[in-house]
Amino acid sequence: MRRAHAGRAAAVLGAVAVMLLGACTNSSSAGSASATGPGDSTGVTADAIKIGWPTIDQSALVQAGLATDVGDTTTIATKMVDDWNANGGINGRKVELVTKTFGTDIANLLPDMQRVCLELAEDEKVFATAAFSWFGDAVTCLAGDHGTPLVTESSMPTTVLDSGKGNVFLANFAWEDAMQSAVRVVDDSGQLAGFQRIGVFGQLEPGMRDAIDNGLAPALQKAGTSLAADGTIPFGVPIDSAAVAAVVSRFKAENVDAVFATGNFYVNGAFMTEAQRQDYHPTYVMSDLSEGTDDLILKFAPAEQLDHAIGASWKGKPPDPVPSPDDQTCIETYAPAARGSVTQEIGASQTCELMNLVRRGLEGAGSDLTRASFIAGMEGLGRFTTSGGGLGSYGPDNHTMPDQVRLVRFDLAGCQCWTAAGDWVDAGG
């Protein structure tokens, strides 16, 4: 029997990329206000702190089978803040959670995110923002143009992360790190050395070229091999099927036996569907980049293509998708109705993780709360256990969370889902 499973609540980003402009456009800055810098106390009074909480309305995507049902994360976040306030707040201040919704009109998602950015930064004047899904120009708008600290579950390329001017903390990898981690664990498993020719496939959405050149290629070289075939194609919606077919044909002719798939499940699925049509069966290597290790891939790809697929993930996977005692406590306290749904349990545990990171950063900032002291508080968190089960940390030169990853394999004969297949290892190599 197939077990329902989702690698991450942020899988909705892949669905967004399916339906319109891609999850990581970053072509222009937004907002008319000049950046206020990280040292001010916007959104802070003697008694209160305003924290933004924007969420994507994924109901239509769930109904269409394009996203996983992670439950009501806004209710969970609100209950957590209510508990903080009932217990004296944070350093004597109560937290006001400013909730906003975007994405009801999927065709206008990115402009809608820009609208929410301006509402949070200019109208509500929040101190900082926590978000499950926040990406592309909206990162630049909020963290870069307006200097608003952002803590988000989204993965993004370093180019977008850098556009936040040091104000962004990812509860995730940057794309380059995700690629490097995949090389690391596959190499440790001994399988990398068995590949004769390695290729990469994906759309060249903003930041992807740099991520491949600065992440994947050097990691392969360090492991004693190389990228033999580049099958990246121009970004487009819908995906260019002729371009995909040409890459598959070329890879097959060149005997490429391993393909690093860097797209979301829709893009990867288009490649796999065409590969099946051309009777081409490489081993796919994936990572948490663009939710590559999410089980929604089977909605877009022939199951046979996933046979032997491997990769790296820091996220919860069977048999332990919610492994930590803290996660179990979170679910019982804030989302007991999620019990029995793997996807909603993960959604609850990762909402708790995100909100607790913000709380710890605020506590570490001290009573003289400014954006600069909050950044310092986040950077001073040290090591902690992530909701995936491995270790994570932040520091002055480290605004991405995971420190450990493990090998995952797609269990085609069993649960038809990604499963943990190795021990936790240092993601840094």
| Tens digit of each residue's pLDDT (9 = 90 or more) over 356-392 | 999 999 999 999 999 999 999 999 998 999 988 899 9
Tokens for 171, please give them: 């509860």
Residues 151 and 181 in one domain: no
Q: What DSSP string describes 354-393?
A: HHHHHHHHHHHH-SS--HHHHHHHHHT-EEEE-TTSSEEE
pLDDT digits (tens, 9 = 90+) for 172-222: 999 999 999 999 999 999 999 999 999 999 999 999 999 999 999 999 999
313 contacts 418 by C-beta, under 8 angstroms: yes
In a domain, 89, yes or no: yes
Q: How do residues 23-66 score in pLDDT, each as one tens digit?
A: 444 543 333 333 455 569 999 999 999 999 999 887 766 776 66
Residue with tokens 């950077």: 379
Q: What is the CATH number of the domain that holds 300?
A: 3.40.50.2300
Q: Which domain holds residue 376?
A: 9-173+321-398
Same domain as 228, residue 108: no
Same domain, yes or no, for 193 and 158? no
pLDDT at 304 over 80: yes
Whether 244 and 359 map to the same domain: the answer is: no
For 95-112, the pLDDT digits (tens) are: 999 999 998 887 788 899
Angle at 429 between CA 312 and CA 285, to 5 degrees: 25
Q: Do both 325 and 290 map to the same domain?
A: no
Residue 2 in domain: no
Distance CA 158, CA 166 (A): 11
**350 inside domain:** yes
Residue 341 confidence (pLDDT): 82
| 298 within some domain | yes
Cα separation of 252 and 9, whole Å?
Answer: 34
Q: 308-354, pLDDT tens digit by residue?
A: 999 999 998 888 755 577 888 988 999 998 888 877 888 888 899 99
Instruction: Say if 254 falls within a structural domain.
Output: yes
pLDDT at residue 6 above 60?
Answer: no
| Max Cα distance, the chain (Å) | 68
- Residue 132 tokens read as 């499950």
Average pLDDT over residues 111-129: 97
Backbone angles phi, psi at 419, to 5 degrees: -130, 150
Report the predicted TM-score, pTM, of the whole model to 2 decimal places.
0.90
CA neighbor of 28 nearest in space, from 128, 163, 125: 163
Return the pLDDT at 143. 98
| Residues whose CB is less than 8 angstroms from the CB of residue 61 and which lie 6 or more positions away in sequence, other chains included | 12, 15, 16, 19, 67, 106
pLDDT, greater one: 67 or 154: 154
**Residue 3 domain-assigned (yes or no):** no
Residue 52 lies in a domain: yes
Q: Which residue(s) pair with 383 in the sheet?
A: 393
In a domain, 245, yes or no: yes
**Which tokens go with 265?**
């499940």
63/281 Cα distance (integer angstroms):
31
pLDDT band at 223 (very low <50, low <70, confident <90, very high): very high
Average of per-residue pLDDT across 229-239: 94
How far apart, in Å, are the Cα atoms of 325 and each of 4, 384, 404?
22, 13, 18
Domain co-membership, 136 together with 110:
yes
Q: At 240, is the pLDDT very low, low, confident or very high (cuts 50, 70, 90)?
A: very high
Let me know whether 183 and 117 are in one domain. Answer: no
Residue from 333, 383, 344 nearest 360 by CA: 383
Note whether 158 and 247 are same-domain residues: no
Number of domains in the chain: 2
pLDDT tens track for 308-319: 999 999 998 888
Q: Assess whether 417 and 393 both reside in one domain.
A: no
Residue 80 reports pLDDT greater than 80:
yes
What is the model's pLDDT at position 37?
Answer: 52
Q: Quick count: other Cβ atoms within 10 Å of Cβ 342?
A: 19
Predicted confidence at residue 132, as pLDDT, reads 87
Q: Are 390 and 315 in contact (CB under 8 A)?
A: no
Is there a single domain that holds both residue 107 and residue 233? no
Percent of the chain whose predicted confidence (pLDDT) is above 70: 89
| Alpha carbon distance 177, 215 (integer Å) | 7
3-state secondary structure of 102: strand
Task: Give residue 14's pLDDT band: very low, low, confident or very high (50, 70, 90).
Answer: very low
Alpha helix segments (H runs only) across 189-257: 208-211, 217-222, 241-253
Say whether pLDDT at 5 is over 70: no
| 71 and 166 within one domain | yes
Q: Of the candidates 387, 320, 327, which has an alpha carbon nearest to the alpha carbon of residue 3?
A: 320
92 and 205 inside one domain:
no
Q: What is the secondary structure of 82-145 as a DSSP string?
A: HHHHHTT-BTTBEEEEEEEEE-SSGGGHHHHHHHHHHIIIIIS--SEEEESS--THHHIIIIII
Distance CA 82, CA 89 (A): 9
CA separation for the pair 239, 201 (Å, rounded): 13
Q: What's the number of CA atoms in the CB half-sphere (13 Å) around residue 307?
A: 9
CB 168 within 8 A of CB 150: yes
pLDDT of the residue at 148: 97
pLDDT in tens, 146-184: 999 999 999 999 999 999 999 999 999 999 999 999 999
